DNA sequence: CGAGCCTATGTTATCGATGCCATGTGTAAC
DNA sequence: GTTACACATGGCATCGATAACATAGGCTCG
């Protein structure tokens, strides 16, 4: 009882441990940081004292004196892409934790320069050692440049700042894979429901689609723009359903794909008999809704990890690209032959 | 150029600002903390100096001297429930940010006592001012008790530690709502595919289901246990499909529900004609897959916010319960009458 | 056997903001 | 015209760990 009270009065400090172990505070510090020059016997005494006092290193003091916070800041968008967001977060957290870093999250409510600046400032104020930006930067302001110049930064979507390194997730390839799959099945034209134009992912997938069609000598139809949500897919799907000869659609996300499918079905167009649909993400549900979705899988967890590795890599040679692969299921088929 | 170099050499400190503004460091500190007794004219000079030097408050020093970190720790599970997890995170982050707190994430890879202890230790080491635990505590160890005694803690799932306060999300009610809906439609029996038994949410939903059936004088059939994933729903769905007279199933999550639906359909049982399905979550896709899912909506974002509010509420009177509500869609119908 | 070096440890200054106390005004109250 | 008190500000010690430097043995090598 007394012990509990005493503890809540003041946490033991390194000096307390030093006193109990009969050494200097510096030796305690060395022991805890696995410094090489510590006698095994001394080390044991120190660790015993730590255990006995329930000592816990004071992070703030460590940060202040060492100048390093062992914390990585992660900038996320609050809405949209639940799946990819949490997978990225988990990947970042795992890799960071593995390297002895903590993760500090800053979510922004929308793609707005002011919000972005505030998020970066917040992280800078927290003294993070590095920043991972997992949302697209619409336009890069001076203030953002200032921060990313001082603090190592990796962007996960391809947008660039001075000083920020970029982790490529090959979205062009994703767009190409999806489109080519439809062409290979025999479709003569592929429509596209894209993500919001501010998102680099969206633009790159769209570009991959365009390039793939161009390579096949096909004029791309106008792209329809969604906002990643099933609902926006549904709305664009209603438009697509009004166009008679559409046989293949590439949707920029699984969630939009399901919205499109619903709209098509309500108009009497079945999937994949009348219209084939491919999308990107491969969320857990993709295989279980009906029809099971043909989709380009991207390993977001791995991307999160890779971002951390890139960030912590001193020579920065580590710019790995996370690959994409196609999961073929039942939402695509050859067009009706007649 | 020179400026950028100078900056990267050393960030300006409060003393630098004080010198430029011609006041003491103490006055700068007061100004930045909106202390009442600062002359407007002085305040302006200080703020000008801050602006001019690009001064940024050193968080570590602030934490060290004030003893408060203005950081909240959030413990999450790495896998499962992507939707709820990110919604909770966003809610926590928003509410925390609003109150001037940062959020520090600790994800654990599984429901394991050791992992949980490590996560809590990590947060404690980071010096967080409070902890929100968004995963169930299977068993509470001494070490966990020690930490949650020292640091204010809120658990978001109903498990209890000494000193931790609990934010009720009324899972019993969710189970009851779902089950009652099926009974109201005329079903005479309701089967249940639950979440993992270690999860309090799962146990409470199950209990709500049992109580509701009991109140109607119905003997509950054995519950089938899943792991929240669509795949586990699919496997349990295959079992259910073998039982001839099942007309209604309550699934503990939307993702499992879609797995169940797939399994039933593959066996020639249609939803909702042959079997009605209700679940819990109301993820974005629930309304867009087919059939649109009847499900109990829970506001996870709001829960996250509420957890922060409860945590920061000094008198703790703020133990609000986040309500659940039923979204009726097309996966439920009256049983075939014959 | 002394120069030189490695190992184990201690001493001291320092990081940057804040808490606490002291000081010096202007002004309201008796 | 004191006493008293709110307001505005400065000085100094302090939080707890670490970097940088210092020291004292023990060992190697020529």
Mutate to test the interface with A, among B80, B288, B308 (most CBs of A within 10 A): B288
**Angle at the Cα of B137 from the Cα atoms of B136 and B140, rounded to 5 degrees:** 170
Nearest-by-CA chain A residue for B290: A290
Bridge partners of residue B297, in order along the sequence: B281, B325
Judge whether A2-57 and A66-166 match in fold.
no
pLDDT band per the 50, 70, 90 thresholds, residue B143: confident
> What pLDDT does residue A7 have?
35
Q: Judge whether A330 and B266 are in contact, CB under 8 Å.
A: no
Residue A80 region, left (φ>0) first, then alpha (ψ -120 to 50), else beta? left
pLDDT tens figures, B21-39: 999 999 999 999 888 888 8
Nearest nt to the CA of B46 via C1' is D9
Block residue for tokens 């003491």? B24
Q: Does domain A171-297 have CATH number 3.40.50.2300?
A: yes
Cα(B195)–Cα(B200) distance, integer angstroms = 9
- Is there a contact between B60 and A57 if contact means CB atoms under 8 Å apart? no
The string over B261-277, giving b where at least 16 C-beta atoms fall within 10 Å of a residue's C-beta and e elsewhere, is: bbbbbeeebebbebbbb
Q: What is the mean pLDDT of residues B74-79?
A: 85
CA atoms within 13 A on the CB side of B276: 26
Q: Strand, helix or coil at B240?
A: helix
Nearest nt to the CA of B55 via C1' is C16
pLDDT tens figures, A42-100: 999 999 999 999 898 888 999 988 888 889 999 988 776 677 778 888 899 899 988 88
Judged against a pLDDT cut of 90, whether residue A188 lies above it is answered with: yes
pLDDT band per the 50, 70, 90 thresholds, residue A2: very low
> What pLDDT does residue B6 have?
34
- The domain covering B171-298 belongs, at the CATH homologous superfamily level, to Response regulator (3.40.50.2300)
pLDDT tens figures, B191-240: 999 999 988 889 999 999 999 999 999 999 999 999 999 999 999 999 99
Q: Judge whether B289 and B189 are in contact, CB under 8 Å.
A: no
| Inter-CA distances, A112 with A108, A115, B272, Å | 8, 5, 43
- Out of A60, A69, A93, name the one closest to residue B105 (CB): A93
- The domain covering A66-166 belongs, at the CATH homologous superfamily level, to Response regulator (3.40.50.2300)
Q: Judge whether A30 and A37 are in contact, CB under 8 Å.
A: yes
Q: What is the mean pLDDT of residues A239-243?
A: 97
Closest Cα in chain B, distance from residue A105 (Å): 6
Within 7 A of a protein CB, which nucleotides of strand C?
7-12, 14-20
Nearest nt to the CA of A13 via C1' is D16
Q: Which CATH architecture has domain B68-166?
A: 3-Layer(aba) Sandwich (3.40)
Which of 1.10.260.40, 1.10.510.10, 3.30.200.20, 3.40.50.1980 is the CATH number of A2-57?
1.10.260.40
Q: How many CB pairs under 8 A join A and B?
A: 163
Domain ranges within chain B, ordered by starting residue: 2-57, 68-166, 171-298
The runs of H, that is alpha helices, within A104-168 are 113-125, 142-150
The string over B207-245, giving b where at least 16 C-beta atoms fall within 10 Å of a residue's C-beta and e elsewhere, is: ebbbebbeeeebebeebbbbbbbbbbbbbbbbebbeeee
What's the start-to-end Cα distance of chain B, in Å?
85
> Could you tell me which residue, A197 or B7, shows the higher pLDDT?
A197
Output residues with Cβ under 7 Å from nucleic strand C.
Answer: A 22-27, 30, 36-39, 41-42, 61, 64-65; B 10-11, 13-15, 25-26, 29, 32-33, 55, 57-58, 61-62, 64-66
Cα(B151)–Cα(B102) distance, integer angstroms = 16
Cα(A193)–Cα(A250) distance, integer angstroms = 6
């Amino acid at each position: 009882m007394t012990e509990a009270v005493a503890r809540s009065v003041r946490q033991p400090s390194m000096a307390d441990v030093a006193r109990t172990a009969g050494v200097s505070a510096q030796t305690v510090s060395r022991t805890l940081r696995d410094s090489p020059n510590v006698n095994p016997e001394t080390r044991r005494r120190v660790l015993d004292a730590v255990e006995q006092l329930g000592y816990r290193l004071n992070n703030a003091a460590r940060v202040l004196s060492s100048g390093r916070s062992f914390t990585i800041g992660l900038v996320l968008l609050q809405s949209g892409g639940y799946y990819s967001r949490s997978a990225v977060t988990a990947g970042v957290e795992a890799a960071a934790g593995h390297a002895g870093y903590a993760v500090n999250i800053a979510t922004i409510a929308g793609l707005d320069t002011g919000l972005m600046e505030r998020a970066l400032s917040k992280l800078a104020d927290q003294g993070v050692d590095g920043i991972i930006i997992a949302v697209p930067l619409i336009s890069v302001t001076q203030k953002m440049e200032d921060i990313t110049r001082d603090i190592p930064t990796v962007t996960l979507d391809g947008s660039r700042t001075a000083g920020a390194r970029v982790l490529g997730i090959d979205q062009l390839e994703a767009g190409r894979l999806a489109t080519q799959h439809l062409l290979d099945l025999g479709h003569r034209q592929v429509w596209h429901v894209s993500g919001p134009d501010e998102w680099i992912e969206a633009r790159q997938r769209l570009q991959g689609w365009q390039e793939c069609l161009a390579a096949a000598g096909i004029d791309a139809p106008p792209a329809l723009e969604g906002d990643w949500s099933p609902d926006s897919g549904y709305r664009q799907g209603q438009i697509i359903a009004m166009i008679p000869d559409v046989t293949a659609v590439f949707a920029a996300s699984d969630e939009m794909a399901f919205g499109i499918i619903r709209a098509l079905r309500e108009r009497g167009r079945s999937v994949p008999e009348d219209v084939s649909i491919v999308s990107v993400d491969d969320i857990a549900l993709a295989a279980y809704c009906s029809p099971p979705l043909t989709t380009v899988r991207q390993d977001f967890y791995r991307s999160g990890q890779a971002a951390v590795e890139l960030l912590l890599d001193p020579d920065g040679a580590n710019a790995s690209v996370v690959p994409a692969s196609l999961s073929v299921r039942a939402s695509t088929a050859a067009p009706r032959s007649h």
